[in-house]
Amino acid sequence: MDLLPDVRQWLLAELPARRITNVRNLQTLWSGYGAILRVGLEGGPANSVIVKQVTPPTEKDHPRGWNTTRSHERKLRSYEVESCWYRSWSDRCDPRCRVATCLAQGDIEGGQILVLEDLDAAGFPIRRQRLGRDGVAAGLRWLAHFHAKFMGEDGDGLWPNGTYWHLETRPDEWQSMPNGPLKDAAVAIDQRLQSVEFQTLVHGDAKVANFCFANDFDSPPAVVDFQYVGRGCGMKDVAYFLGSCLDETECERSQEADLKIYFDTLSQALGGSGLDVASLECQWRAIYPIAWADFVRFLEGWCPGHAKLHRYSRKMVDIAIELCDHA
């Protein structure tokens, strides 16, 4: 996909820049809803920028067949949320929870456009599918600083319940789940997550692929893709992040060490805030298996054979269901 002609003219005027030197298609958006492009510039604010060009298709085509009206409306809302994030919230992030600078945004016929800083050029060129201990620690520290930064915020304009798998937005996937204890406990699990006293903003899609690393893991990473940012318990991000970059054995073996890294960083970041950080940690640690079970609930309906439905995630589900039964 190339830049639309109207977008080319808009981009040159908005930045401003003298001319576009090249366009490279980096990624097609999920279900064909547009593209992410690297655009080379001459005489602009930088030599290159990242353009997220959202142009929803007239015929919906989901890779796994979830091409319903509800799915379409959820995606459209997600792009509105991302625009709100960059317009109203992202500038509060600091180098410890780095995000791309938004350079411009606007509406185009049938969609919208988002122009972001090129994080590769800014010194964050590394992407990973799996992480070693240093990488995991860097990702967890980013999440801790992010959650500390937005602790207690209402998330105006964002999702009232962050994450792309939130139960209220996924009734079709819940209906497709096999009957059993997890399906029966889905509402109770969701309510436990929403009733936690300490709420923050969660990224909502904190998989390792959305983390952009510098050449070493000593520097904090930068993170992209804020379509599902909204209010929630930080454990939802932590569980999802760890599940995205570690296998089941690593998840189990390093669970306590990983949670210690996260909570030590969160405690430091919240120092002087006046919050009862000890109570926060106690509540969030208890909710960790429930956050895992919430995502497993989505997977069981959306993709029953998914690789993340492994022994460790089942163990987390069993713990979560027991916790909900004895609440």
Q: What pLDDT was estimated at residue 110? A: 72
Residue 67 — very low, low, confident or very high, per pLDDT cuts 50/70/90?
low
Q: Indicate if the pLDDT at residue 60 is higher than 60.
A: no
* Choices 2.60.40.10, 3.10.620.30, 3.30.200.20, 3.40.630.30: CATH for 5-117: 3.30.200.20
- In terms of Cα–Cα distance, which of 108, 278, 85, 126 is closest to 197? 278
pLDDT digits (tens, 9 = 90+) for 139-192: 999 999 999 999 999 999 999 999 999 999 999 999 999 999 999 999 999 999
Q: Which distant-in-sequence residues (6+ apart) come within 8 Å of 306 by Cβ? A: 299
Q: What pLDDT was estimated at residue 108? A: 81
What value does the mean pLDDT of the chain take?
A: 93
The two three-digit tokens of residue 105, written as one number: 């945004």
Q: Which distant-in-sequence residues (6+ apart) come within 8 Å of 192 by Cβ? A: 287, 290, 323, 324, 327
Q: Indicate if the pLDDT at residue 14 is higher than 90.
A: yes
pTM: 0.95
- What's the CATH architecture for 133-325? Alpha-Beta Complex (3.90)
DSSP-H helix ranges across 150-276? 171-176, 181-195, 235-245, 248-253, 255-269
Which of 9-13, 107-111, 163-167 is predicted least confidently? 107-111
* 94-126 CB burial, b ≥16 within 10 A, e <16: eeebbbbbbbbbeeeeebbbbbbbbbbeeebee
Residue 2 — very low, low, confident or very high, per pLDDT cuts 50/70/90?
confident
pLDDT digits (tens, 9 = 90+) for 212-240: 999 888 889 999 999 999 999 999 999 99
Q: Indicate if the pLDDT at residue 294 is higher than 90.
A: yes
Q: Residue 124 and residue 210: Cα distance in Å, rounded?
A: 12
Which H or E run contains 280? helix 277-302
Q: Indicate if the pLDDT at residue 325 is higher than 90.
A: no
In the chain, domain spans: 5-117, 133-325
Average pLDDT over residues 112-134: 94
pLDDT digits (tens, 9 = 90+) for 182-204: 999 999 999 999 999 999 999 99
Q: What pLDDT was estimated at residue 31? A: 79
Q: What pLDDT was estimated at residue 215? A: 86
Q: What pLDDT was estimated at residue 59? A: 60
pLDDT digits (tens, 9 = 90+) for 28-52: 988 789 999 999 999 999 999 999 9
Residue 61 — very low, low, confident or very high, per pLDDT cuts 50/70/90?
low
3-class secondary structure for 192-212?
HHHHCCCCEEECCCCCHHHEE
Average pLDDT over residues 1-7: 83
CA 126 to chain centre: 18
Q: What pLDDT was estimated at residue 68? A: 78
Residue 260 — very low, low, confident or very high, per pLDDT cuts 50/70/90?
very high
Share of the chain above pLDDT 70, in %: 96
